[in-house]
Amino acid sequence: MIDFLYKLSGVFMAGNSWKSINWKDPFLLEQQLTDDQRLVRDTANQFGQEKLLPRVREAFRKEETDPNIFTEMGSLGLLGSTIHGYDCPGVDYMSYGLIAREIERVDSGYRSMMSVQSSLVMYPIHKFGSEEQKEKWLKDLGSGNKIGCFGLTEPNFGSNPGGMITSCKKDGDDWILNGNKMWITNGSIADVAVVWANDENNTIRGFLVEKGIEGFSSSDVHGKLSLRASITSELSFSDVRVPDSSRLPNIEGLKGPLSCLTQARYGIAWGMVGASIDCYNTALNYSKERKQFSKPIAAYQLTQLKLADMITDITEAQLLVYRLGRLKDEDKMTFQQVSLAKRNNCVIARDIARKCREILGGNGITIDYSPIRHMANIESVFTYEGTHEMHSLIVGEHETGIAAYDS
């Protein structure tokens, strides 16, 4: 039997069919992209590798963020890329997914900065805002000349946003905001915050709160061991008075912020593929160069098993987001599908980062190699925009028809 298998493998190898496989894309998924999508992919990849990669190590080491990244992204059409009009590119959602993948190939912090600006700030303004609000903000946000943040999570309410304490009270033609928002990407450098608050009738409303308004302040979270290349802040509102023209007029209720999160989670599912690819490529190249005993560690069976498992998982994750992107472009995507993709691809990326660190050995704990940085970042991504547990319950509810949490 063993002789037969050896002979059979020899038949396949004799045809050299295995040599024709591109192991960076074993199922040739990139061939499914249109010319425009490839152009977007290549633009984002070049920007990531030439502009972001050279500065990410020091940014992560020093816990620093360069706000100029926003104008750099904006000049290439990477912010608010799916919006039509207002000087935005209006690309499809497959293209947006490819942007997220290529930026997160460098660092999750950079993708978070872009994702918040595009999916959590520009999207709700475009979707729920007045024409005056769109004209005031979208062009400058798309160019990166203005920066935005999104205030939903609170110190005591994350997975249950409906329990938010931040309040909005009508006072004549104005609204008075009070409360705190926590874990806010871009918070202290933002020119405008999309803030969600509960009114006296327990109706959630959205507001555009501008930087510098009396009673509105922010403070950065320091000492993070994850997402160190992006800013994370707490926002505080103490009797902040805003005009009714600052309210997003075309949305009421929790469906507003949750629809924004669906957009951001879509990008995360793609971004986790990028982080996984970078970890895999780093470990693969290292394993072929690093020699132990008589040969490269890539020649050992246990290393090859890890590499085979990883490329299989990456391919699975890629297939999932490719299909998800097409469903979104066809307006058929559901938030449950996004939850499934987010939870699946975060688990895959988390496992791949760990395996790649193992292949790198002692060198893998240094900042000179990206997997441990990705591994730290993924711990945040695994949790934010809905924890793994919450996405599991979302999927479970729609499998069984039974909610496992309070509505």
Q: Catalytic residue numbers?
A: 385
* Separation between Cα atoms, residue 191 and residue 210, nearest integer Å: 6
What's the gap between Cα 9 and its chain centre?
42
Task: Please give the backbone phi and psi of residue 225, each rounded to the nearest 5 degrees, phi first.
Answer: -110, 15
| Residue whose pair of structure tokens reads 């498992």 in the numeric block | 309
Amino acid letter, residue 316? E
| Residue whose pair of structure tokens reads 């020899």 in the numeric block | 10
CB 286 within 8 A of CB 369: yes
**Pick from 151, 145, 162, 153: nearest CA to 248:** 151
* Residue partners of 252: CB distance under 8 A and separation at least 6: 203, 204, 205
User: CB-side exposure of 342: number of CA atoms within 13 Å?
Assistant: 30
* Separation between Cα atoms, residue 124 and residue 248, nearest integer Å: 8
Task: Kindly state the tokens that stand for 3.
Answer: 């002789």
**Pick from 350, 222, 356: nearest CA to 287:** 356
* Separation between Cα atoms, residue 165 and residue 181, nearest integer Å: 10
* Separation between Cα atoms, residue 331 and residue 308, nearest integer Å: 35
User: CB-side exposure of 384: number of CA atoms within 13 Å?
Assistant: 25
